[in-house]
Amino acid sequence: MADDTSIDPHPGFKGLPNDLAIKLCRMFIERWFQLMLERCDQDIAGLEELDFFDQLALRAKWSKETDLLCATLTAMQKYDSEAGKIELIMQVFGDQLGLPAESIPADIEQRIDWYKKRLAVEYERSLKRELNLHTITSPIEQIFLMEWRFLRVDERYGVKLRPQDTLKVDGIAYSIDFVVQKPDGKMKLAIELDGHDFHEKTKEQATRDRRRERAIIRHGFTILRFTGSEIFRNSRKCVEEVIEMITL
């Protein structure tokens, strides 16, 4: 078994979603402190066997350890501000984000504005390109896609979102608002967004919708349906419900 003291994690845990990376940091910190306490307990247990000089050396050692921990906590407080946050991001993730420090103005406020604007512009361009590619004109579909892409669901959970997908059944083409699939094909999820409540539809429309829904289910899809009011009210919650289905 490897010695736990040799653990030297990459500070960014590159490639992992933020929540998992932070959880791994917590695990590392917890184990590190466990090791420190075990060593401290060992030193305390053997203290009486040492001469005065070695006892004093141990006392100095643990006093220094304590000072370093306090200094670390104090040093990290400067990153609590907006300026501190952007500085910390640049230190840890600058290379990964393609934002070398030398290409950004020295003034920290300009850095913040530049960073936020660049991320916003890249997100907007990517989203508009996808909306135009799939001719997505429905506001609720646009909002859902915006939230999905903002949360980077495909990247974080290893799935593929296909907007405006088409399923052919018995010669009839059924359009599905969004299809979510995993590469292995074991999960097929159809996401339907209703702009109007069911009771607002005519009898013929409701019958046609039910027939379409049964055809989609027969082809192995699970259907997850959201109303327009749900999307407008809390699109984040809707996307998170889909994530729960993905991770079951």
**What percentage of residues in the chain have a pLDDT greater than 90?**
21
Predicted TM-score (pTM) above 0.85: no
Q: Which residue has the higher pLDDT, 15 or 174?
A: 174
* 5-19, 116-130, 222-236: range with lowest mean pLDDT: 5-19
**Mean pLDDT, to the nearest integer, of 9-25?**
67
pLDDT value for 24: 82
Instruction: Report whether CATH 3.90.650.10 matches the domain 135-246.
Output: no
pLDDT value for 9: 43
* 10-24, 107-121, 144-158, 220-234: range with lowest mean pLDDT: 10-24
Using pLDDT thresholds of 50, 70 and 90, give the confidence band for residue 106. Answer: low
Q: Which residue has the higher pLDDT, 116 or 3?
A: 116
pLDDT value for 14: 58
| Segment 146-176, tens digit of pLDDT | 999 988 999 888 999 999 988 887 778 888 9
- Sorted by where each begins, the domain ranges of the chain are 4-93, 94-133, 135-246
pLDDT value for 198: 44
**What percentage of residues in the chain have a pLDDT greater than 70?**
83
Q: Mean pLDDT, the chain, as a whole number?
A: 80
| Segment 27-36, tens digit of pLDDT | 888 888 898 9
**Mean pLDDT, to the nearest integer, of 13-20?**
68
3-state SS, one letter per residue, for the chain: CCCHHHCCCCCCCCCCCHHHHHHHHHHHHHHHHHHHHHHHHHHHHCHHHCCHHHHHHHHHHHHHHHHHHHHHHHHHHHHHCHHHHHHHHHHHHCCCCCCCHHHCCCCHHHHHHHHHHHHHHHHHHHHHHHHHHCCCCCHHHHHHHHHHHHCCHHHHHCCEEEEEEEEEECCEEEEEEEEEECCCCCCEEEEEEECCCHHHCCHHHHHHHHHHHHHHHHCCCEEEEEEHHHHHHHHHHHHHHHHHHHCC
Using pLDDT thresholds of 50, 70 and 90, give the confidence band for residue 11. Answer: very low
**Mean pLDDT, to the nearest integer, of 210-237?**
89
